[in-house]
Amino acid sequence: MILRFGILLIGLNLLLSCSEDTQINKPTPYEFIPPEFFGDRYEIPADNSFTVEGIALGRNLFYEKQLSRNSQVSCGSCHQQSKAFTDGAKFSIGLNGELTGRSSMSLVNLLWQTKFFWDGRVQSLEEQALQPIQDHIEMDLTLEEAVERLSDSDVYPQQFLEAFETEEITSDLIAKALGQFMRTLVSSNSKYDQHLQGEDVLTDQEKLGMDLFFTHPEPNTGLRGGNCGDCHLNILTAGNREGYQGFHNNGIDSEESLEDGLMIVTGKATDKGKFKAPSLRNIALTAPYMHDGRMATLEEVLDHYNENIQTSTTLDVLITNATNNPESVLPVMLGLTEEEKQAIIAFLHTLTDEIFINDEAFSDPFEN
């Protein structure tokens, strides 16, 4: 009996010793303070709250080239901080030099968005994060291979332990870490933001451009407008959060040339040719423009909306009803003057956020 009791004591002491040696510290909650003037229409997933360690891990994974088959491409390859997390290309270049079918979309203020990709095919950042890794053109790695590579790493098991209290790496946890990091990519320090907070920093030309941007024209009353804010809404300059209201056929193609767009998701013929209205934050840095990068400059974009609209059955009513000319007929012409177009472009430049594109917290950790 005494021997058995002694063995039990030894076993208990060993168990307690092991528990002390392998004690797991809880992840550190990250205090996220959103810009007050952005509003509170955002949701942080209940099962993926911000932590200091989770964000740090997500940043590493965002720039981790081992998540591509040839270890040469990362998320940061197509989403470069200096270009407001785009890549400056008409179509992004994949790991074998192949081109993707879409222009890289800026990753900015994603916390206030609920539909991702140009066609809105996913509804969470966690789901979005894993698709490029698996895409055969972009990174071409199965989730099983991604997990295996990270598990074999000298550093990632410990980082996952610190972020998620487990050394077992899973694709779900990879997605959660990336989601945490991407939600921190908040741009709120542009000249326009200073104006929103009461600072008189805009020039007369920029103020005119801002007024035109957010005004729907009423030709019969003489109210002139650029109609931009009908699709690029409010201070976030992005589409609505509810449903698919932020998706539009903006008249860049005729009926015969319409791509499927949102119709891929909804199956509705009335959604053919509709694509997401992206945030215009840092728009001066994110050329070329449109889902297929067909427009190289902001001047081309303004010319399109002003005089080059193509008609089709799904052309957005926000465009067909927008003109400064009381006698306008289809194909609708917005009817802005050159001075007004230049004023809108001047305003769009006030959306550039130098702090955002230079913030070390968003930079490539492997280059620092």
Residue 78 labelled as part of a binding site: yes
> Any idea which of 6-15, 54-63, 326-335 has the lowest mean pLDDT?
6-15
CATH 1.10.760.10 segments of the chain: 15-186, 191-355
Which two tokens mark 42?
């955002």
Residue 231 among known ligand-binding residues:
yes
Q: What confidence tier does 17 reach under pLDDT thresholds 50, 70, 90?
A: very low
Q: Give yes or no for a contact between 192 and 351, defined as CB atoms under 8 angstroms apart.
A: yes
Task: Give the per-residue pLDDT at 237.
Answer: 75
Q: What pLDDT is stored for residue 192 in this prediction? A: 97
The pLDDT of residue 301:
98
Alpha carbon of 148 to those of 33, 153, 168, 252: distances in Å? Answer: 35, 9, 10, 44
Write down the pTM of the prediction.
Answer: 0.91
Task: Write down the architecture of domain 191-355 according to CATH.
Answer: Orthogonal Bundle (1.10)
Residue 317 has pLDDT above 80, yes or no: yes
Percent of the chain with pLDDT over 70: 92
Q: Known binder of ligand: residue 18? A: no
For 209-230, write each residue's pLDDT tens digit.
Answer: 999 999 999 999 999 999 999 9
CATH class, range 15-186: mainly alpha
**pLDDT > 90: percent of the chain:** 85
